[in-house]
Structure 1
Amino acid sequence: MNNQLQRRMGTFALTMVGMGSIIGSGWLFGAWRAAQIAGPAAIFSWIIGMIVILFIALSYCELGAMFPEAGGMVKYTQYSHGSFIGFLAGWSNWIAIVSVIPVEAIASVQYMSSLPWKWAQWTHQLVLNGSLTLKGLLIASALLLIYFFINFWTVSLFAKTNSLITVFKMIIPGLTIGSLLFAGFHGGNFTYNPGTESHGLASILTAVATSGIIFAFNGFQSPINMAGEAKNPGRSIPIAVVGSVLIATVIYILLQVTFIGSVNPSLLVHGWHQLNFNSPFADLAIALNINWLVIVLYSDAFISPSGTAITYTATTARMIYGMQKNEYLPGVLGKVHPIYGVPRPAMFLNLAVSFLFLFLFRGWGKLAEVISVATLISYITGPVTVMTLRRTGKLLYRPIKLKGLSIIAPCGFVFASLTLYWARWPLTGQVLLFIMIGLPIYFYYQIKVKWKGFRKNFLAGLWMVVYLLCMMGVSYLGSNKFGGRNIIPFGWDMLLIAGLSLVFYFWGFKSGFETEYLQEACKLNEEMRVIEEAEAAVPYNETAV
């Protein structure tokens, strides 16, 4: 069949997909940026970020196992609430994911712009005031093309390449942690500096949303988006998702501890906020005269981000494939190559959008913030969707039915809402504009394909529109610790967000209905049941691709 993706990926390969997405440029810049915002308390930011993501990810694990299809993250909400909110969730998720591809290319070039050797002085011209120059843009463009062609021929090549790169990416942070801790560790850096700056709760929470923590953990969804190519999705998806998040958390916390302890105390005279590095871990290695590590880190500045970008080049193509199957985009974007099993037209679209983001946002920090907020907007639908489907799709086959999900889901919704608020005004409002850009496309295809049923679909998703407007309002009026006007004082603002989140969660839960899309998805779900039963009849033999 021409439009069938190939189920070749095992549990190990899917876990490597998750790890390859999470351990990207986030580890090169995240620890420095988090320390700059929250000081030594940044360690708690990573723990909070992990908790937020796990509560959200658990909802998607059940959904991914029920509907193992390419680009699943952009389709689940359509099954529970219809096309309008399905489009909003899918569009915001796609924006967040496709923009990761250029941000990883930017990260590589930005890291390489401070090479210390004389023969590499030309690299200092790649970045100016935190933005890529024309030369930097050309190199980043070449990287985008490399990511594209690695995925162009076959998912097998992608899986093998990604697994090898991911294993390498896990070794390098380990070497960095061990080397820097051995060379010099300053325990006094973990104490606060009264009178210089304050690293209270607000700073810890802001670091979760804006320092690259949510941006890094965003990679948990890659195994879910690749579920259509999983050999045993019911078993592989939850292991890959939860496993990759937990492993990455350990790595990131160790990196954060290492970074904080390795900074020379003389650099902290003016506080953590004034700590500026072009290439954080490489700069520390240079200061400690660990020359071999400097070389390794600069090499990894290409490998780690490139591994993540290669992963996202694959998964975003599956997302476009999924959105086309939802009839949001032209039919040509849903075509899969009959031999290689790759949605090539979707890849070309993502490549064009990647170039657009590359030239619009030329710095890692700004684009990472945009990605984080757009991702959070798309995350909020997952907990509502999974519980709604338990009501409207009671007969659906569930390879995994999580205990306690009735508590986990609303908690995940509240946590995602709070993190969105922590991202600070006006960033929350700015990203919402990116989401709104997609609405004309939705309305165009509703008119072209089928206007019938629009009212029902729109009303089922109305809660999402009101929710986003309320979040903007609270963000604008909230505490000045999060960029607001301080009309709603600190503490009360988060209580208000939590209360409103529960109201919108239950509104969203009640708004769901048995959509026509759910009826179509039942066929896929039944195929999943047949596959699971067939594989249960023989001993499981995992062959990682």
Structure 2
Amino acid sequence: MGISETAPSTPPAPPSRAGRPGLRREVGFIGLIWASEGSIIGSGWLFGAQGALGVAGPAAIISWGIGGIAILILALVHAELGGMYPVSGGTARFPHYAFGGAAGASFGWFSWLQAATVAPIEVLAMITYGQHYSWANGWLKTQGGQHVLTASGIIVAVLLMAVITAINFLSIRLLARTNSVATWWKVGVPLLTIFVFAIAQFHGSNFTAANGFDPYGAKGILSAVSTSGIIFALLGFEQADQLAGESANPKRDIPRAVIGSIVIGVIIYILLQVVFLAALPASQIQGTWATAAFNTLTGPFAQVATLISLGWLATILYLDAVISPGGTGLIYITGASRVSYGLSRNGYVPSAFESTNRRGVPWAGLVVAFVIGCICFLPFPSWRSLVGLITSASVLMYAGAPLSFGVFRRRLPDTERPYRLPGGRWMSPLAFVVANFLILWSGWTTDWKLGIAILIGYVVLIANRVFKMNPIQPQLDLRAAQWLPVYLIGMGLIVYASDFGPLKHPWFPLWWDMVAVAVFSLGIYYWALAVALPTAKIQRMVDQVVAPEESTLH
């Protein structure tokens, strides 16, 4: 999985002082690219090749290329923003500066939702690969072509979530110290797998086996981008952006690190897709790609390694299926608690989320993240079903960056930009369109559940304000966020009426649905730019937060 190993964060309460001391710009190109690469190569590789092959056939290789281009477009927009305002959790904070409190609270909630759902998907990855052991056989069952949790599996999943939560209470410092070692392991195991699979068994005929190279056409290729784990695996590029304030040469190194990490990640993932496909024995690919036996494998790479007599590699992969997902889950459940802590500090959610224990751990946020993570096992009992939700939530969070980019280019044209994106005027709206394409390709089955989660968030935000559960009452700036409900509802309606929706005869057939999304996205983009906060207010909010935060990095 490509989600960052660095816990996400969200806006702190405005500090009392605002200076602009210089940062220690000591992070070089290698440090930047490694930060992003360690995030991009993660536990998603354990299932991504299998899932994409089942959805798109061997044409999944094309899906990985499309996913890489989409992520690169979004990443380049983030590169300029990260250089301008090198603050932690910038992805969720830029909309707050551009559009005020209502947008800030909304994108903060999207950020929390993304962070809170990572731990359960990592638990699902551990349990799914754990089917290798006889004592774990009763934890999953096959339903609708997917491996879903049984009643006993849900109990085990809840217990694993409890362990992850408990460790976060006790030893987060130790976990942080092991991150560097874990990153080497996370990148090294996929590279080893590629090398060994390539020389051990490579059947070129597999690329046209079953029902052909491209059996499901464009819809299969595009669906695989969002629903099989491709975008999910490629997330995490923003880590280089987050280090912009400490980069020795941000203008040169940040774009190179962002582009380089994504290109390297895409190459590794494409090679993983190729060797997984080429190594499959003929018995695993009879019939169609969607129904072939390899889809039933609970530990795809490890089981294929066993089938081709690479038992030693299978042992390493089963070990990796605990280390990589477990480490990511540990980081992200505490990350979710930090997001809720920050939202509380800004007055958006009840002040109870600021409660910390004697170690300074925000325990209330941890408990809520644990509960929500466990609830996720009910509507999303399989790895593949939950990956769509996380992809959509992540992309929705990322979608705020192109909008903020456009506002800052228009309102703050003279602000220093260590890296200035060439062609930013057209790259920014393009990035917003691409983000919404990814939401479209996730499909109605995923997006309506995301919509419910968003509504729950708004109920919490409104209740907090109505019942004054937090003494801080932030200014909402509703005029600057007037486009937001239209955007969320409009995207939902387009997905419903599209070829990726539930209708037997969609209003927007394939390709026309993408035209509809593009036109709608551009309308929202320029509407948002027109009603954004005035320059003076944006600058005032930035000065309240960015300069003091930079001083903590000095």
Query: Is TM (by shorter chain) over 0.5?
Result: yes
Per the TM alignment, residue 20 of structure 1 is displaced from its structure 2 partner at its CA by: 4.3
Tell me the secondary structure at the aligned position of residue 50 of structure 1.
helix
Matched to 1:278, the amino acid is T
Q: 1:530 to 1:472 in 2, by over 3 A?
A: closer
In structure 2, C-alpha distance between the alignment counterparts of 1:306 and 1:491, rounded to whole Å:
40
Which one of 505, 518, 531 corresponds to residue 485 of structure 1? 505
Q: 1:133 to 1:531 in 2, by over 3 A?
A: closer
Does 1:301 find its partner at 2:314? no
Q: Show CA shifts across 1:282-330 (max 9, x none).
A: 1111111111011111111101212322332353343223322332123
Does 1:462 find its partner at 2:482? yes
Tell me the secondary structure at the aligned position of residue 272 of structure 1.
coil
Q: Which residue pairs with 1:75 in the alignment?
A: 93
Q: Show CA shifts across 1:185-238 (max 9, x none).
A: 1111222655897231111110001001122223334566x769x855984876
Q: Which residue pairs with 2:223 in the alignment?
A: 206
Per the TM alignment, residue 368 of structure 1 is displaced from its structure 2 partner at its CA by: 1.0
Q: Which residue pairs with 1:525 in the alignment?
A: 546
Q: Show CA shifts across 1:502-536 (max 9, x none).
A: 1111111212113857523213333477789xx7x
Q: Which residue pairs with 1:361 in the alignment?
A: 380
Per the TM alignment, residue 439 of structure 1 is displaced from its structure 2 partner at its CA by: 0.9
Which one of 290, 314, 329 corresponds to residue 273 of structure 1? 290
In structure 2, C-alpha distance between the alignment counterparts of 1:341 and 1:227, rounded to whole Å:
24
Per the TM alignment, residue 150 of structure 1 is displaced from its structure 2 partner at its CA by: 5.3
Per the TM alignment, residue 14 of structure 1 is displaced from its structure 2 partner at its CA by: 6.8
Q: 1:63 to 1:314 in 2, by over 3 A?
A: farther
In structure 2, C-alpha distance between the alignment counterparts of 1:480 and 1:343, rounded to whole Å:
40
Q: Which residue pairs with 1:45 in the alignment?
A: 63
Q: Which residue pairs with 2:7 in the alignment?
A: none
Q: Show CA shifts across 1:96-138 (max 9, x none).
A: 221011110111111111x2xxxx4212122233233455445
Per the TM alignment, residue 446 of structure 1 is displaced from its structure 2 partner at its CA by: 3.9
Which one of 340, 351, 366 corresponds to residue 320 of structure 1? 340
Per the TM alignment, residue 376 of structure 1 is displaced from its structure 2 partner at its CA by: 2.1
Per the TM alignment, residue 86 of structure 1 is displaced from its structure 2 partner at its CA by: 2.0
Q: 1:305 to 1:240 in 2, by over 3 A?
A: farther
Q: Which residue pairs with 2:391 in the alignment?
A: 372
In structure 2, C-alpha distance between the alignment counterparts of 1:262 and 1:53, rounded to whole Å:
28
In structure 2, C-alpha distance between the alignment counterparts of 1:282 and 1:351, rounded to whole Å:
29
In structure 2, C-alpha distance between the alignment counterparts of 1:348 and 1:232, rounded to whole Å:
36
Bigger drift between 47-56 and 241-250 goes to 241-250
Which one of 452, 468, 471 corresponds to residue 433 of structure 1? 452
Q: Which residue pairs with 1:383 in the alignment?
A: 402
Q: 1:65 to 1:311 in 2, by over 3 A?
A: farther
In structure 1, C-alpha distance between the alignment counterparts of 2:356 and 2:404, rounded to whole Å:
28
In structure 1, C-alpha distance between the alignment counterparts of 2:87 and 2:323, rounded to whole Å:
29
- Are the counterparts in 1 of residues 210 and 289 from structure 2 also a CA contact under 8 Å? no
Q: Which residue pairs with 1:105 in the alignment?
A: 123
- Are the counterparts in 1 of residues 115 and 333 from structure 2 also a CA contact under 8 Å? no
Matched to 2:277, the amino acid is I
Q: Which residue pairs with 1:406 in the alignment?
A: 425
Tell me the secondary structure at the aligned position of residue 407 of structure 1.
helix
Bigger drift between 437-446 and 63-72 goes to 63-72
Does 1:416 find its partner at 2:435? yes
Per the TM alignment, residue 15 of structure 1 is displaced from its structure 2 partner at its CA by: 5.5
Does 1:126 find its partner at 2:144? no
Instruction: Name structure 2 gaps, 5 residues minimum.
Output: 1-11, 16-23
- Are the counterparts in 1 of residues 91 and 400 from structure 2 also a CA contact under 8 Å? no
Q: Which residue pairs with 1:172 in the alignment?
A: 189
Per the TM alignment, residue 396 of structure 1 is displaced from its structure 2 partner at its CA by: 4.3
Q: Which residue pairs with 2:495 in the alignment?
A: 475
In structure 2, C-alpha distance between the alignment counterparts of 1:390 and 1:223, rounded to whole Å:
21
Per the TM alignment, residue 10 of structure 1 is displaced from its structure 2 partner at its CA by: 5.8
TM-score relative to the length of structure 2: 0.83
Q: Which residue pairs with 2:18 in the alignment?
A: none
Q: Show CA shifts across 1:311-361 (max 9, x none).
A: 3235334322332233212335346789x7765554444334323334553
Q: 1:161 to 1:314 in 2, by over 3 A?
A: farther
- Are the counterparts in 2 of residues 476 and 485 from structure 1 also a CA contact under 8 Å? no
Q: 1:355 to 1:322 in 2, by over 3 A?
A: same
Matched to 1:88, the amino acid is S
Q: Which residue pairs with 2:350 in the alignment?
A: 330
In structure 2, C-alpha distance between the alignment counterparts of 1:292 and 1:188, rounded to whole Å:
26
Q: 1:288 to 1:452 in 2, by over 3 A?
A: closer
Bigger drift between 463-472 and 7-16 goes to 7-16
Q: 1:352 to 1:429 in 2, by over 3 A?
A: closer
Per the TM alignment, residue 153 of structure 1 is displaced from its structure 2 partner at its CA by: 6.1
Q: 1:480 to 1:501 in 2, by over 3 A?
A: closer
Matched to 2:100, the amino acid is G
Q: 1:17 to 1:530 in 2, by over 3 A?
A: closer
Which one of 266, 270, 275 corresponds to residue 249 of structure 1? 266
- Are the counterparts in 2 of residues 18 and 222 from structure 1 also a CA contact under 8 Å? yes
Q: Show CA shifts across 1:406-447 (max 9, x none).
A: 222111111111111111223222311211111122223444
In structure 2, C-alpha distance between the alignment counterparts of 1:196 and 1:185, rounded to whole Å:
16
Q: Which residue pairs with 2:41 in the alignment?
A: 23
Q: Which residue pairs with 2:21 in the alignment?
A: none
Q: 1:181 to 1:504 in 2, by over 3 A?
A: same
Tell me the secondary structure at the aligned position of residue 302 of structure 1.
helix
Bigger drift between 521-530 and 253-262 goes to 521-530
Q: Which residue pairs with 1:442 in the alignment?
A: 461
- Are the counterparts in 1 of residues 86 and 550 from structure 2 also a CA contact under 8 Å? no
- Are the counterparts in 2 of residues 71 and 315 from structure 1 also a CA contact under 8 Å? no
| Superposition pairs of residues 275-294 of structure 1, within 5 angstroms | 275=292, 276=295, 277-294=297-314
Which one of 262, 279, 284 corresponds to residue 262 of structure 1? 279
In structure 1, C-alpha distance between the alignment counterparts of 2:67 and 2:503, rounded to whole Å:
20
- Are the counterparts in 1 of residues 346 and 474 from structure 2 also a CA contact under 8 Å? no
Tell me the secondary structure at the aligned position of residue 219 of structure 1.
coil
Matched to 1:30, the amino acid is G
| Superposition pairs of residues 120-159 of structure 1, within 5 angstroms | 120-129=133-142, 130-148=147-165, 151-152=168-169, 157-159=174-176
Root mean square deviation of aligned Cα = 3.5
Q: How many residues align?
A: 521
Q: Show CA shifts across 1:367-420 (max 9, x none).
A: 111111222222221100122123334464444333322222111111111111
Q: 1:242 to 1:250 in 2, by over 3 A?
A: same
Tell me the secondary structure at the aligned position of residue 290 of structure 2.
helix
Per the TM alignment, residue 163 of structure 1 is displaced from its structure 2 partner at its CA by: 1.4
Instruction: Name structure 1 gaps, 5 residues minimum.
Output: 536-545
Matched to 2:135, the amino acid is W
TM-score relative to the length of structure 1: 0.85
Q: 1:54 to 1:93 in 2, by over 3 A?
A: same
Which one of 45, 55, 59 corresponds to residue 77 of structure 2? 59
- Percent of aligned pairs with the same amino acid: 33
Which one of 494, 507, 516 corresponds to residue 496 of structure 1? 516
Q: 1:441 to 1:65 in 2, by over 3 A?
A: farther
